[in-house]
Structures are given as C-alpha cells and as structure tokens.
Amino acid sequence: MTISTLTVAGTTTPETTSPATTTPAATTSSAPDTRTTTATLVADDATDATFRRAQQRSERIEADLRVDPTAYRVVTGDRPTGDLHLGHYIGTLANRVRLQNAGVPVTVVIADYQVITDRERPGPLRDRVRALVADYLAAGLDPRRTAIFPHSAVPALNQLLLPFLSLVSVAELHRNPTVKAESLASRRTLSALMLTYPVHQAADILCCQGTLVPVGKDQLPHIELARVIARRFNDRYGHVFGEPEALLSSAPVVLGVDGAKMSKTRGNTIPLGADEDQTTAAIRAARTDGLRRITFDPVSRPSVANLLTIVGALTGREPARIADEIGDGGASALKAVAAEVINESLRDLRARRRELLADPGYLDEVLLDGTARASAAAGEALERVRVAMGMDYFGG
Ligand code: ATP
Ligand code: MG
C-alpha cells in the first residue's frame, strides 16, 4: 500500500512516478498527506494492540468519509500551553484541515482550563490563544466553516461534567496511561483536575456531538474513555450521544529533537512559527544514530524513522523510499533533506501566520463567532441531557 493521495486541500495529487528525489522541489504542495496507512501500521508499534486497532479503524473511517463526509462530526483541540509545533501539524492539524475541506463539520476547542491540569498558573493565555487561532487559520482552517472556541467561554460544556463524573470510577481514572504519564512528567501531586482530564475531554467532544477526533497516539486512552462515557450515559438514560472515534494520522507520535514525544512542555519542538534558520538548527541538533546507511526502521532506529516519517508526511511519499534515496548519505544528508522539506512545506503557513498575528482584533472576532456556535451546540446537548435525566422542570 502506498501513502495516500488526498491532499489537505482535498484535491487528488497522486504520488509522483518520476525518478524519486528528496529535494524540496519534490514537495508536491505545502499541504501534507497524513492519512494513516497500513505501511505506518506495521512499522510503528507492532506490540501495541490498542494502537494497531485504532490505526485499522482510522483506515476504515477514511474509507467511510470518502463515501459520505457528513457521516461524522469532528471535534478536537489543543491546550494553550505554548506554540503549536510540527507534531500538531502532522499529527492532527493537517487532518482537521483536510476533513474540513472534504465537507466534514469541524469544531476546535481551545482547552484553556486543561492548562492547569499539570501546572499552577495558566500563563499568558490571551497571547497563546490568539497564536493558536493564527496557527489554525494559517494552516487552512476556515472560520466560516469551522467553529473555534475557548473551553472557558461555554458554561454549558462544563455542566456536562457532573453527570459524566458519575459514570466512571476513580480506579478507572487512575488506570488511564495518559493521565499517569502527564502527571509523572509534571512532577507535581496529582490534582483532581488532572485525574478527571479524560472526563472533561469527553465533555468537550460530546457537547458538540463530536463523533470523530483527529488526535495523536497519546490521546487514545482519553478517546476510549469518552466512548465509555457516551455508552454508559446512553445505557442509563436512553440514546443521547454517538460514541466518538479517534482518527490517527500517518505520524501518530512525532518525536522531538531529544527523541521523546514532541511536546510543548518538554521544549523539544519544531514550532510552526519558528523561522527557517531556527528550524534548520533544531533539526541539525536532533538526535539520530551513528549508522551511515539510512533505513526506515521505527522499532530499532526511532529517531531516524521519525525524520523520515516527517518528510514522508509532508511530501506524500513513502518513508522507506526516502531512506533508500538517501542511502549512505548518513544523518547529515537526512537532516539536510528534513530541514529543507519542513521549511518549504511551512513557508506559506508561516507567512500567513505573521499576517494574522498582526491583526489580533480579527482573531478575537473568530473566537467570538466560534463561541456563539459552540454555545448553541452545547446548550442543545445539555438540554437533551436534562430531558433524558428528568431534569427538564421548566419545559412545560
Ligand atoms: P503539552 O506538552 O502542553 O501537553 P502537547 O504538545 O502535548 O502539549 P496538546 O495540546 O496536549 O500538545 O495536544 C494537542 C493535540 O495534538 C492532541 O491531539 C495530541 O495528540 C496531538 N499531538 C501533540 N503532540 C503530538 C506529537 N508529538 N505527535 C502527534 N500528535 C501530537
Ligand atoms: Mg499533551
């Protein structure tokens, strides 16, 4: 199976059949192709059954979406803890844009309350939220089609939390591997907010009737719990919610320059807003191994495979084929290719981002409009919940 041919813009651009080259000129467009494929499935993590099932499911959902893009509602989001990075772009943002352009309804939650799950203070939220909106729009999200809103601005969303909390046990929350990993990484006492992270994420998704969530691998346990919550609510009170599904990209875990998951809080990122020199320097410093021959082997050579996966996702080409072309060029040739492809692919996005950041009034309008649409959806969801639970006292 080859890496898919649907670009973010929703137009079909088959992988080039001309002699392969890994120079930036080979980059077919600035839009990465990030649909999950069997190729990444086998190579990425052969031992993780949940992950494999999620990748297989993602492939089936991609097939469904080609038949009927309105069969799903996408809801997804990010924490405003810092600048968006290449992991976001390849792991989820490009999929959001592609799905939006294919006609799938998309809602993006800026998860501001979730910033304080693993830190004491929220930080410079206003600037970070605006920067997120600028990144979204620069990447191709269209505010006329896609609602973007901050979690804290939609009170009805948070009211869903109370019935949802009754549907999960404390033991289930303690078992959640992402809660465990993030709590450990924060080196702080586990707060009740962190423990209940997957429950408020379920409220984020279900308040907007989300059924499809483009995410990275780290989010799979949370989506699983959102499914459990939707199912248990429906079993107890009658059908109100669809069970949301995760949609993985072809790069479900983009690694940072230190070889761990690229993550805002680890400081190991290639930010979307970095300039070309900063990007080249960061890639040059990225961890690789000492083997001269470049091969695509995610299990025993994860850092090399990571750079190949990034180049593959951004150019719509097979990582193994890119490895063959670099051959005995070693890590320095691989890094030169990666830096050029990343800079080439992000050039337009970065220019649009700069323009958007210069107009904060417009970014705030986008948020206000998204908040109005999300509030209407969340109000309806809450009303259905109240009716289902017998709390519709004033409805006549
Ligand atoms: P933080 O360090 O604050 O948790 P983060 O970099 O992990 O930040 P999030 O806001 O937690 O980013 O994640 C937003 C979305 O981006 C989620 O769907 C997550 O799965 C996805 N994502 C984040 N990092 C990566 C990555 N390195 N590879 C693939 N997807 C990612
Ligand atoms: Mg995170």
Residue range 89-138, pLDDT digits in tens: 999 999 999 999 999 999 999 999 999 999 999 999 999 999 999 999 99
Question: Residue 33: pLDDT above 70?
Answer: no
Question: Residue 139: pLDDT above 70?
Answer: yes
The alpha carbon of 237 and the centre of ligand 2 are apart by a number of angstroms equal to 32
Q: Which residues line ligand 1 (CB under 6 A)?
A: 78-79, 81, 87-88, 91-92, 215-216, 218-219, 252-254, 261-265
Residue owning the nearest CA to atom 14 of ligand 1: 78
Residues 6+ apart with CB under 8 A from 307: 283, 286, 288, 334, 335, 338
Residues 6+ apart with CB under 8 A from 311: 22, 317, 319, 322, 337, 338, 341
- Give the residue, 42 or 323, on which the prediction is more confident: 323
Question: Residue 66: pLDDT above 80?
Answer: yes
Residue owning the nearest CA to atom 18 of ligand 1: 215
Convert the pLDDT of each residue in 367-384 to its tens digit.
Answer: 999 999 999 999 999 999
Percentage with pLDDT > 70 across the chain: 88
* Residue of 169, 94, 195, 102 lying closest to 135 (CA atoms): 94
The alpha carbon of 185 and the centre of ligand 2 are apart by a number of angstroms equal to 11
Maximum CA extent, the chain: 76
**Residue 329 has what pLDDT?**
96
Convert the pLDDT of each residue in 241-269 to its tens digit.
Answer: 999 999 999 899 999 999 999 998 889 99
- Give the residue, 6 or 47, on which the prediction is more confident: 47
Q: Which amino acid is at 388?
A: A
> CA 55, CA 75: separation in Å to the nearest integer?
18
Counting ligand 1 atoms within 8 A of each CB, the residue from 95, 218, 254 with the most, and so the one to mutate, is: 218
**Residue 265 has what pLDDT?**
84
Q: Can you list the positions of beta strands (E) in the chain?
A: 74-78, 106-110, 146-150, 212-214, 245-247
Convert the pLDDT of each residue in 283-332 to its tens digit.
Answer: 999 999 989 999 999 999 999 999 999 999 999 999 999 999 999 999 99
> CA 118, CA 157: separation in Å to the nearest integer?
21
> Could you tell me if residue 173 is left (phi over 0), alpha (psi between -120 and 50 degrees) or otherwise beta?
alpha
Query: Among the listed ranges 26-30, 165-169, 229-233, which one has the minimum average pLDDT value?
Result: 26-30
The mean pLDDT value of the chain amounts to 89
**Residue 185 has what pLDDT?**
86
- Index of the ligand 1 atom closest to the CA of residue 78: 10
**DSSP per-residue codes, 339-366:** HHHHHHHHHHHHHHHHHHHT-HHHHHHH
Residue owning the nearest CA to atom 16 of ligand 1: 88
The alpha carbon of 1 and the centre of ligand 1 are apart by a number of angstroms equal to 27
Exposed (0-12), middle (13-18) or buried (19+): which is 23, by Cβ within 10 Å?
Answer: exposed
* DSSP structural state of residue 168: S
Q: What ligand has the least distance to the C-alpha of 82?
A: 1
Q: Read off the pLDDT band of 21 (50, 70, 90).
A: very low
**Residue 396 has what pLDDT?**
59
Residue owning the nearest CA to atom 19 of ligand 1: 216
- Index of the ligand 1 atom closest to the CA of residue 93: 16
**Which 3 state secondary structure label does DSSP give 105?**
coil
The alpha carbon of 216 and the centre of ligand 1 are apart by a number of angstroms equal to 7
**Which 3 state secondary structure label does DSSP give 28?**
coil
- Index of the ligand 1 atom closest to the CA of residue 216: 20
Q: What are the structure tokens assigned to 226, written together?
A: 């959102």
**Residue 3 has what pLDDT?**
28
Q: What are the structure tokens assigned to 192, written together?
A: 């009740």
Q: Read off the pLDDT band of 191 (50, 70, 90).
A: very high
SS (H, E, C) 226-290: HHHHHHHHHHHHCCCCCCCEEECECCCCCECCCCCECCHHHCCCCECCCCHHHHHHHHHCCCCCC
The alpha carbon of 93 and the centre of ligand 1 are apart by a number of angstroms equal to 10
Q: Tally helices (H) and strands (E) across the chain.
A: 17, 5
Q: Read off the pLDDT band of 31 (50, 70, 90).
A: low
Kind and range of the H or E run holding 44: helix 38-44
Q: What does residue 254 show for φ and ψ, rounded to 5 degrees?
A: -80, 130
Terminal-to-terminal C-alpha distance of the chain: 58
Query: Among the listed ranges 3-7, 31-35, 235-239, 290-294, which one has the minimum average pLDDT value?
Result: 3-7
